Amino acid sequence: MNLYAIRAIYLFELSRWFRTLTQSLLAPVISTSLYFVVFGSAIGSRMTAIDGVTYAAFIVPGLTMLSLLTESIGNASFGIHMPKWSGTIYELLSAPVSWAEAVTGYVGAASTKAVLVGLVILATARLFVPFHIAHPLTMAGFLILTAVTFSLFGFVIGVWAEGWERLQIVPTLVITPLTFLGGSFYSIAMLPPLWRKVTLFNPVVYLVSGFRWSFYGVSDVGVGLSLSMTLGFMALCLGAVWWIFKTGYKLKT
């Protein structure tokens, strides 16, 4: 394992993010604050508790997960697409660095950024609503696991995209709608039976549900199932990344 190469890629990606740290953290903080002003205060005050949790506190895990998915995909896809666009990707491919080492550096940096944003979102939420974390270690585990999984997914998108505009197609048209429809702002138990069954095909349901369980001990699906689905998606993303480097898909052409 070439730790020097991993460290070089990791620190280079982090340094690029820290150069725009104010912008990187300010945008999600403002968005989260607006969500709590609208949903938490204006709407939440008129809604009953869900599973014994006030509505304002109930949406905290969902809002955190929304930001986490967006940041993970965006950071990882930009990180690998930039060298593709500039042509410096050939320096990486010709260097004595394995695909696992390169992916560890890029995905590790993207995951670190996403986790930091997630923690800032939680700190911001704490200013608006009191909430507790019943299982802090499980919460941290889901936070890191989700960041790594969707950073891998973002890496695949960054390789697949042929232009900057394509980087936003999947996050905007797929991930964001799935997150909003995945129980981020409501419990799927509130849906009619038919739509409840349809919603279970949404992978984001399992992410939000497991993350919410770590806060309040309540969830729409079992925490074990949530963990299994997340690990399964991670395995799919790892397989896709391995295939990309094995075949040189959109990296060597």
**Domain locations in the chain?**
3-247
pLDDT of amino acid 25 = 77
pLDDT of amino acid 248 = 83
Give ∠ CA 75-125-78 in degrees, rounded to 5.
5
d(CA 10, CA 119): 20
Nearest CA among 10, 119, 7 for reference residue 75: 10
Q: Environment class of residue 8 by beta-carbon count within 10 Å: exposed (0-12), middle (13-18) or buried (19+)?
A: middle
pLDDT of amino acid 40 = 65
| β-bridge mates for residue 92, sequence order | none
What is the DSSP secondary structure assignment for residue 50, as one 8-state letter? Answer: B
Asked if residues 5 and 97 have their Cβ atoms less than 8 Å apart, the reply is yes
Tokens of 94: 């010709």
pLDDT digits (tens, 9 = 90+) for 26-77: 777 787 778 777 776 666 667 777 888 888 888 889 889 988 998 899 889 9
Q: Mean pLDDT across the chain, nearest whole number?
A: 87
Q: What is the pTM of this model?
A: 0.90
Of all residues in the chain, what percent carry a pLDDT higher than 70? 96
Tokens of 46: 């008129």
User: Which of these ranges, 33-37, 111-115, 145-149, 199-203, has the smallest mean pLDDT?
Assistant: 33-37
Nearest CA among 63, 64, 46 for reference residue 55: 46
pLDDT digits (tens, 9 = 90+) for 97-141: 888 999 999 999 999 999 999 998 898 888 888 888 999 999 999
From the CB of residue 187, how many other CB atoms can be counted at a distance below 10 Å? 17
Query: The tokens 């095909």 sit on which residue?
Result: 201
